[in-house]
Amino acid sequence: MTDPFNYRGVLSPYMKAIIRMKEACGLTILSAKWTYKEFDEFTIQYDLTEPIITKELTDAWAATRLNDCSRTLYGKCSRIAQLAKYMNEHGIKSYIMPLPKCDNDRAFIPYIFTERQMWDIFNETDHLLRKSHRKDDPIISIPCLLRLLYSTGLRITEAVSLRNKDVDLQRNLLRVGTWGNTKNGEERLVPICTSLKDNLLKYLHYRSMLPIKGITASDHIFFVKLNGEAVSSANAYRWFKKVYTHCGIAYRGEHFGPRVHDLRYPNLNKIQTFLKKP
């Protein structure tokens, strides 16, 4: 079968490289592959001969996206900007296009969890048991990962992309966006509260018991499965749904959740209370 993502334009080496980097981080990157396929075909039609992204190139490409809704266009522009940033970091001076306005045309309504529900969810994660002998089971990371999402407001793609060197427990900070996976393509520092730090330390204690070579290396992924591979966004979604279903919380539909993304909308004055349970 022909590979639909066999890019052929002059930017293809950089597209393939950034995709490899994202895959190594455990990211779900199918949408990125399709965006780069579209952009690759456009560069061929544009007769681009020099491997560089210019303002003229991005303006001409954006003018062809007439049928994309604002959210779709925003996502595509973000991926093109990430590609340009990656090229800049590797000595190819390229234009990083500004991101367009994004309307909430999908009309997602966040699910707001009650205090009781969050207690139940955290309690359920603390009593998870393995029901298989799969080596790619992410169960070791789920309790701490869900607490981190709730405490910091990180997006799931940002959380599962964290490397060991991004988690600074000396200064109580997370370095987010090192791998170009943030919504706006920018890095930022996120503070860690004391109770979350305690949970991160407990997670590291148990993770250190895994017989995985290099698991403490600075560039190794932070949240891992039992085989040392990265936890993916899909893993987190599946396990979160298992957890809240066991807590008697019903799934209300695609636009109404609950979704793992809804953990970003807590009642902020409750965070310290919920995270105290180890």
Q: Which amino acid is at 194?
A: T
**Mean pLDDT in residue range 137-141:** 92
Q: Decide: pTM greater than 0.75.
A: no
DSSP secondary structure of the chain? ---TT---STTHHHHHHHHHHHHHTT---HHHHHHHHHHHHHHHHTT--SS---HHHHHHHHTT-TT--HHHHHHHHHHHHHHHHHHHHTT-----PPPPP---TT--------HHHHHHHHHHHTT----S--TT--TTTHHHHHHHHHHH---HHHHHT-BGGGEETTTTEEEE-TTS-STTS--EEEE--HHHHHHHHHHHHHHTTS--TTTTSTTSBSSB-TTSPBPPHHHHHHHHHHHHHHTTPPP--TTT---GGGGGS--GGGHHHHHT--
Tokens of 113: 């969890």
Question: How far apart are alpha carbons 206 and 200 in whole angstroms?
Answer: 10
Q: What is the pLDDT of residues 180-220, one digit of tens each?
A: 555 555 678 899 999 999 999 999 999 999 999 999 999 99
Q: What percent of the chain lies above the pLDDT cut of 90?
A: 55
Indicate if the alpha-carbon torsion angle 262, 268, 269, 275 is positive or negative: positive
Q: What is the pLDDT of residues 45-95, one digit of tens each?
A: 999 999 999 999 999 999 998 878 888 889 899 999 999 999 999 999 999
Tokens of 74: 């925003």
31 touches 71 (CB < 8 A): no
Which residues, including other chains, have CB under 8 Å from residue 52's CB and lie 6 or more apart? 87, 92, 93, 94
- The most confident of 136-140, 187-191, 222-226, by mean pLDDT: 222-226
Q: Where are the domains of the chain?
A: 12-89, 115-275
**CATH 1.10.10.60 applies to domain 115-275:** no
